[in-house]
Chain A
């Protein structure tokens, strides 16, 4: 068996706060194969973005990795010197964010930003850099690339900014692209365009994608495999079609049922209670106070991931049948 491109094992992240230490990630396991699109889904505050930042070692104090490992392409990232980590960012793993316009430099044209990147990472300049910049624009299907390269971020629409951002992310030919809510701020018609573009890039470049989103529909559109997070833990991992057809973790099931659906009244079935305070996590399973299947054992014993079938994992004492 080949090892996955990205292999995260038992990753734990803590934030020191005046009220105590908040454990924001607890034992996160996550694999992404070459050319695979994996969705990481969960509600706000569940730790999806922290997972991405921890993988890229972009966490700022007071957040820090306190345990576990992140292996990328066979190298351990958590202990890598910062100088080498800088080479991994961009060349190995690139990241795009929710607010594309804010992620671009407002005082430089798109072409200038691409130029800086190409000069720094590839030593390209002059005509070679221009040629590569145009090629990248074409790759992300930006219309009228010459105009876009001259344009400043405020002159571009949200969808064009996100395409420009993807072009910048692809400039150093990364093997893995981490997209953190990359389509959330876009209108649905543009969101579909970007999702289809990401799918084509995976096919043409063999790019692996870690798609972080709160939107289960986006996950279904784009991903082959999905990991569901709750309160800093991955509670379920499954192939996308199986997850939607037969969720095993009670939280996944409730999350799917909570969504309003076109043509299906009423407007979804809410999950009672609220997400736990990271400083005051429930004992046992973090979801047990809100769970319809919880029994006394759930409050006492923290469940380990079980493997009900190939390619699936569920962290629950009493999974859905």
Chain B
């Protein structure tokens, strides 16, 4: 059974478009996903694709406008504050900018100890201290760093503190929102290795959000691609990146900088930019930029449809086999 099952989750924000006019901005549009214990799902998309909003809605940091989130057999969207609190402990999040997600006035040891006290996970100062030391050990920080302030640590060390704080809650699911995007490459690799070790040790499920396909391919066996709030493709990471089916995924894979660009097949360069989730055609949201779009793409909503075992795509032309082969 899945640890997490999300069905048709939507999030809509009312946006003022004039003095009295309000229009809905659909940040996430009927997204569904499943995640098992110890599994990683990669969530890929460009800025504004709704990947962070989806994660926040799953963790109930924001309440979804529609759909259900079932975690460990319990439906979270209908739980009120008090009932939700013990569940929150089990779903943790690590953010992109560690400097912004740690309290600059607290020693980092205190930051990690706080959830232990809040959730009553350890009683007494000695037990709390012992647990903080253990967590610091897990994330590869020397115990003497507990007395430091965030500004006395490097970006990589700060992110390790943020991970230790999340682990202090003994979560079963951790949403990692661009956890290495603010870090240098030489530091990034070590942090990714740490995340993989922790997952193996603790059986954590990861929702791994990144705009970087290479990072996702190293972390997740399964990946979901989002574009302007919609899931456009989902499948096994290796296959999806080697043989992307949705035109947007193709453009995304094609746009990743290469070491030997002259030796690569012709790039698929799409024009324009994602635009706004406000001005929304009824059909495929990628249609305005898609080189293969026809009238039907703009007029008809595109649900995810299976194309191969475990691989689904929200493009009727891809399903019908009407797109050129990949690589071009």
- Interface residues of chain A, those whose CB is within 8 Å of chain B, are 43-44, 143, 157-160, 187-193, 195-196, 214-218, 220-221, 241, 244, 254-255, 258-271, 274
5 A-B residue pairings within 8 Å (CB atoms): A158-B47, A215-B257, A217-B258, A265-B218, A267-B218
Q: Chain B residue with minimal CB distance to A157? A: B273
Interface range on chain B (Cβ under 8 Å from partner): 35 or more
Closest 9 CB pairs of A and B: A217-B257, A267-B218, A268-B189, A270-B190, A187-B46, A271-B186, A267-B192, A270-B189, A43-B184
B173 to chain A, nearest CB (A): 21
Q: Is the CB of B251 within 8 A of A189?
A: yes
Instruction: Say which one of B79-87, B208-216, B317-325 lies at the interface with A.
Output: B208-216
Q: Give CA–CA (A217, B259) in the complex, Å.
A: 6
Q: Chain B residue with minimal CB distance to A191? A: B255
Query: Which residues does chain A contribute within 8 Å of B260, judged by CB atoms?
Result: 220, 241, 244
Q: Give CA–CA (A43, B187) in the complex, Å.
A: 10
Known A221-B257, A267-B218, A268-B192; judge A189-B186 contact (CB<8 A): no
**Residue of B47, B211, B253 ringed by the most chain A CB atoms within 10 A:** B47
Query: Which residues does chain A contribute within 8 Å of B196, judged by CB atoms?
Result: 266-267
Query: Which residues does chain B contribute within 8 Å of A263, judged by CB atoms?
Result: 217, 238, 241-242
B269 close to A (CB within 8 Å): yes
B224 close to A (CB within 8 Å): no
B30 to chain A, nearest CB (A): 23
Q: Give CA–CA (A160, B274) in the complex, Å.
A: 12
Q: Is the CB of B252 within 8 A of A266?
A: no
Q: Is the CB of A259 within 8 A of B185?
A: yes
Q: Give CA–CA (A189, B257) in the complex, Å.
A: 10
B271 close to A (CB within 8 Å): yes
Interface residues of B in 184-228 (CB under 8 A from A): 184-190, 192-193, 196, 211-215, 217-219
Interface residues of B in 17-66 (CB under 8 A from A): 46-47
Q: Chain B residue with minimal CB distance to A190? A: B273
**Residue of B189, B190, B196 ringed by the most chain A CB atoms within 10 A:** B189
B152 close to A (CB within 8 Å): no
Q: How many A-B residue pairs have CB under 8 A?
A: 125
B125 close to A (CB within 8 Å): no
Q: Chain A residue with minimal CB distance to B253? A: A262
A36 to chain B, nearest CB (A): 17
Query: Which residues does chain A contribute within 8 Å of B78, judged by CB atoms?
Result: none
Interface residues of B in 99-133 (CB under 8 A from A): none
B141 close to A (CB within 8 Å): no
Known A187-B46, A188-B256; judge A268-B218 contact (CB<8 A): yes
Query: Which residues does chain B contribute within 8 Å of A274, judged by CB atoms?
Result: 154, 156, 187
B278 close to A (CB within 8 Å): no
B270 close to A (CB within 8 Å): yes
B270's partner among A43, A189, A261, A267 (CB-CB below 8 A) is A189
Q: Is the CB of B186 within 8 A of A254?
A: yes
Q: Is the CB of B211 within 8 A of A188?
A: yes
Q: Give CA–CA (A267, B154) in the complex, Å.
A: 21
Q: Is the CB of A268 within 8 A of B188?
A: yes
B261 close to A (CB within 8 Å): yes
Judged by DSSP, the binding face of B is helix
Q: Is the CB of A260 within 8 A of B217?
A: yes
Q: Give CA–CA (A159, B211) in the complex, Å.
A: 16
B280 close to A (CB within 8 Å): no
Q: Chain A residue with minimal CB distance to B210? A: A260
B184's partner among A44, A158, A267 (CB-CB below 8 A) is A44
Q: Is the CB of B192 within 8 A of A189?
A: no
Query: Which residues does chain B contribute within 8 Å of A191, judged by CB atoms?
Result: 255, 257
Q: Is the CB of B190 within 8 A of A217?
A: no
Query: Which residues does chain A contribute within 8 Å of B270, judged by CB atoms?
Result: 189
Known A187-B274, A189-B255, A268-B188; judge A260-B215 contact (CB<8 A): yes
Q: Give CA–CA (A269, B189) in the complex, Å.
A: 6
B327 to chain A, nearest CB (A): 13
Q: Chain A residue with minimal CB distance to B185? A: A258
Q: Is the CB of B258 within 8 A of A43?
A: no
Query: Which residues does chain B contribute within 8 Å of A190, judged by CB atoms?
Result: 273
Q: Chain B residue with minimal CB distance to A44? A: B184
Interface residues of B in 232-281 (CB under 8 A from A): 238, 241-242, 251-262, 267, 269-275
Q: A189-B269, A263-B238 are in contact. List 18 more A-B contacts (CB 8 A).
A: A158-B47, A159-B273, A187-B211, A189-B252, A192-B254, A192-B267, A216-B185, A221-B257, A244-B259, A260-B188, A260-B189, A262-B217, A266-B192, A267-B196, A267-B218, A267-B219, A271-B186, A274-B187
Q: Is the CB of A270 within 8 A of B259?
A: no
A262's partner among B193, B214, B255, B261 (CB-CB below 8 A) is B214
Q: Is the CB of A261 within 8 A of B214?
A: yes
**Residue of A254, A266, A270 ringed by the most chain B CB atoms within 10 A:** A270
B112 to chain A, nearest CB (A): 21
Q: Is the CB of B257 within 8 A of A268?
A: no
Known A221-B261, A241-B260, A255-B185; judge A270-B215 contact (CB<8 A): no
Q: Give CA–CA (A187, B253) in the complex, Å.
A: 12
B124 to chain A, nearest CB (A): 36
Q: Chain A residue with minimal CB distance to B212? A: A260
Q: Is the CB of A214 within 8 A of B267?
A: no
Q: Chain B residue with minimal CB distance to A261? A: B214
A66 to chain B, nearest CB (A): 27
Q: Give CA–CA (A196, B154) in the complex, Å.
A: 35
A79 to chain B, nearest CB (A): 35
Q: Is the CB of B189 within 8 A of A258?
A: yes
Q: Is the CB of B46 within 8 A of A188?
A: yes
Q: Is the CB of B269 within 8 A of A270?
A: no
B272 to chain A, nearest CB (A): 8
B326 to chain A, nearest CB (A): 14
Q: Give CA–CA (A193, B213) in the complex, Å.
A: 18
A220's partner among B187, B217, B257 (CB-CB below 8 A) is B257
